[in-house]
Amino acid sequence: MFSNQYIQERLSKVQRLKELGYNPYTNETDRNTTIAKFANVNSDVHDLEDRRDEKRIYTVAGRIKFFRLMGKASFLKIEDESGILQIYVARDNLEEGFYNTVFKKNVEVGDIVEVTGFPFVTNKGELTLNVSKLTLLTKAISPLPEKYHGIQDKELRYRQRYLDLIMNSEVKKTFHTRSKIISLTRRFFEDKGFLEVETPMMHPIPGGANAKPFVTHHNALGVDRYLRIAPELYLKRLIVGGFEAVFEINRNFRNEGMDATHNPEFTSIEFYWAYKNYQDLIEITKEYFEYLFDHLDLPKLLPYGDLEIDFSEFKQIPLIESLSSIGGVPEDVATDKDKILAYLKERNIEVEEGMNLGQLQGELFDEFVEDKLINPTFITEYPVEISPLARRSDANPDVTERFELFIAGKEIANAFSELNDPVDQLERFEAQVAAKDSGDDEAHEMDEDFVRALSYGMSPCAGQGIGIDRLVMMLTNQHTIRDVLLFPAMRPESKEVIAKELEEEVEKKEN
């Protein structure tokens, strides 16, 4: 693995440092400030008459990102998580012999150093640390990518995220924003009186969504278990038990395809609210977005690639109505199974002939409506056939009290007034089982214990799931889910690929 000639050269420097009595991987550090704090407290140095203050002594640490070696002095730039700082290293300011014997011959870009000194401002007006002591904390044996081109290969960026973070400060900003969004989400729901809970990640029955599960085996119990595809049925059991407002920021796992908006494991928040309905969820969702925008200091008009999303207004429209008003599907077609099949066939869109009306309406929506929903839009009143856990509408039993929120042509949230009729729920599970027996491998499994829980009585309730990954994509102008996941799912990396990448890096250095 370490056969690369540049790595070998660095390994020889590691050995040389040890022979000189320096530990290239020391754990002793005296850092007393970050680069950002150093810059902040010393902003007034620009106003000093000689633009230096030798009375202020600071110790900072960071990775060397730039190195300009001169005869008796050098300028470097080091970076920590908070920012980047120029440092000035002069031979005569360090202990005797250190500059020529240790620093010049063994310290280079990529190494992590600790430096102590005082602030001054260069003739070009840049705040700089004049170094009186330099300690090598960590010797990097793999060279960083060439500075000006960085990492061009996106797959390499995802596979070696640590290298991506080293080379690209904008990537760090994206993940700082992601962390803030999750923290704000937790605070928002806690302030609303919701209780954060934890539910199992290994389920005896895959439930809570129509999806293919990952299967594992529980050795102690001697049974198969399924990685969670959704926490819904467990959270609703808690509503049965008497909790009235619960949420879980959860990891879910679905053994399905991967594309720009799908990763096999993803993060969402699901929350359930007793004595509320899906209209109440629409209102709290608007409040939630208002809260995020206020605390993230975002404008209501956000760029998203070539689009501009207007978050100042959330629209609401029933699914069937959207088929004609947005998707252009004739009204008489949208409610007739045979006409839908003919309409899709004319447009060379293949669907299963055995699909029921609700499923076909869902296909029409996916094909002709979804990607047109740029500004935030609540699509409501989903057909019962594609909403096995949602409560039927009292006004129209063919549809449910459900909505999905779409932004930039992507589903961000799914919510509904929860079904609490145990007989109706049992019948819908049975219909899902029949669909699975007919070949639908994403149909919902029967969960008799959940039906039993409902039989003890669940208060009127509404529940919602919001996809955190897609939400972060929208708010940070990222167009693939891999750009908002620190470690997205990747195909296994072969030894041949690793060797090729190392060879290519050597070629770049030589050229």
Residue-wise pLDDT for 353-398, tens only, equals 889 999 999 999 999 999 999 999 999 999 999 988 889 999 999 9
Q: Are 60 and 33 in contact (CB under 8 A)?
A: yes
Query: Which of 126-130, 131-135, 257-261 is the least confident region?
Result: 257-261
d(CA 280, CA 295): 23
Residues 6+ apart with CB under 8 A from 238: 197, 246, 272
Range name among 90-104, 201-215, 300-314, 425-439 with the lowest pLDDT average: 425-439
Answer yes or no: are the C-beta atoms of 507 and 213 closer than 8 Å: no
Q: With bands split at pLDDT 50, 70 and 90, how would you rate the model's confidence at 285?
A: very high
- What confidence score (pLDDT) does residue 342 get? 95
Amino acid 52: pLDDT: 79
The tokens for 439 are 């070949």
Residue closest to 245 by CA, chosen among 292, 199, 187, 192: 192
**5-144 maps to CATH 3.40.50.2000:** no
502 vs 257: CA distance, rounded Å: 30
Higher-confidence residue of 496 and 439: namely 439
Packing angle, helices 337-346 and 357-368, rounded to 10: 40
Q: Residue 47 carries which DSSP code?
A: G
Domain with CATH 2.40.50.140 in the chain: 5-144
Which pLDDT score, from 0 to 100, does residue 503 have?
A: 59
Q: How far is CA 185 from CA 26, 33, 249, 271, 398, in A?
A: 39, 30, 9, 11, 34
Task: Evaluate if residue 70 carries a pLDDT over 80.
Answer: yes
Answer yes or no: is pLDDT of 508 > 80: no
Among the residue ranges 251-260, 323-332, 468-477, the one predicted with the least confidence is 251-260
The interaxial angle of helices 468-476 and 169-191, nearest 10 deg, is 120
At residue 499 the predicted structure's pLDDT band, cuts being 50, 70 and 90, is low
Closest CA to 62 of 91, 38, 90, 95: 38
Mean pLDDT across 40-59: 84
Radius of gyration for the chain, computed over Cα atoms and rounded to the nearest angstrom: 29
CATH class of 167-484: alpha beta
Statement: residue 71 has pLDDT above 90? no
Q: What are phi and psi of 21, to 5 degrees?
A: 95, 15
The residue type at 230: A
- In the prediction, which pLDDT does 369 show? 98
Contact 393, 380 (CB under 8 A): no
Share of the chain above pLDDT 90, in %: 79
CATH 3.30.930.10 intervals, the chain: 167-484
Spatial distance between the Cα atoms of 386 and 392, rounded to a whole number of angstroms? 12
Q: Could you give the CA distance from residue 194 to residue 187 in angstroms, rounded to a whole number?
A: 10
Average pLDDT over residues 252-257: 92
Q: Which helix (H) or strand (E) holds 463?
A: strand 461-467
101-129: average pLDDT: 95
Task: State residue 441's pLDDT score.
Answer: 67
Length of the chain: 511
Calpha distance 208→228 (Å, rounded): 9
**361 touches 383 (CB < 8 A):** yes
- Residue 189 predicted with pLDDT over 70: yes
What distance in Å separates the CA atoms of residue 320 and residue 383, rounded to the nearest whole number?
9
Distance CA 272, CA 25 (A): 50
